[in-house]
Amino acid sequence: MIDVFGAATAALLVCMAMTLARSILGPTVFDRILAVNSFGTKTVLLIAVYGFLTGRPDFLDLALVYALMNFIGTIAVMKFVRFSDLAGMEDEAEDTF
Amino acid sequence: MAGAVTEVLSWVLIGAGSIFVIIGGVGILRLPDFYTRIHAAGITDTMGTWLILTGLMFQSGWNLVTAKLVFLLFFMVATSPLASHALAKSAFLRDLKPLLGRNLIHEESHD
């Protein structure tokens, strides 16, 4: 019998490999940030699917924590790249927003 | 009977989600430009997440696991468009030019 969880896990792993290749190849820093963000999204999905694959859905707590951490990390790195600083964005924000 | 229907529906949803995840991964690797790659990542973030997590919800039945999956879906749906938007805006304000025109070349700057 074809296990759909195994198929989904394999698809997610292949896709994560492609995303990781983009994060290494990426010509600009934004490509790398996008690839790492997408990698984190796929990690969340992988944790959820793998929990069902092994019959232990308790891993979903880790997936929840990872989803929030991934979002905060992406926003922090994006802000650092954009303003070259994590704290002082008020001055530049006036004319960019 | 209802159990079999739920099972098949869950398989279909998870399979379709896997296909969309693969499409998004190929797009991230193959598309020519940062802004087009955002589009490919958005396919994974929306269709892949929705379909796979909904399929897992059908698989788990009504219990705490379903509640966790609903929370997970809510967080992903709330945060990933925000991250994509912030990323695209940040790249555009840092003068990353999109590819334009029929042959997708970088437009000449006129200043």
- What per-residue confidence (pLDDT) applies to A16? 93
- What per-residue confidence (pLDDT) applies to A12? 93
> Above 70 in pLDDT, residue B105?
no
Out of B49, B60, B86, the one facing A78 most closely (by C-beta) is: B86
For B31-87, write each residue's pLDDT tens digit. 888 888 998 888 888 888 999 999 999 888 888 889 989 989 998 888 888 888 888
- Cβ-Cβ contacts under 8 Å, B72 against chain A: 44, 48, 60, 63-64, 67
Number of domains in chain B: 1
Taking the domains of chain A in order of start, what are their residue ranges?
4-86
In a domain, B23, yes or no: yes
- What per-residue confidence (pLDDT) applies to A76? 83
- Cβ-Cβ contacts under 8 Å, A14 against chain B: 22, 25
Domain span including residue B33: 2-106
This prediction has a pTM of: 0.83
Number of H helices, E strands in chain A: 4, 0
Question: How many angstroms separate the CA atoms of B78 and B87, rounded?
Answer: 15
A71 touches chain B (CB under 8 A): yes
Domain A4-86 has CATH 1.10.287: yes
Question: How many angstroms separate the CA atoms of A16 and A20, rounded?
Answer: 6
Report the percentage of chain A scoring pLDDT > 90.
28
Nearest CA in chain B to A28: B34
For B3, phi then psi, to 5°, come to: -65, -40
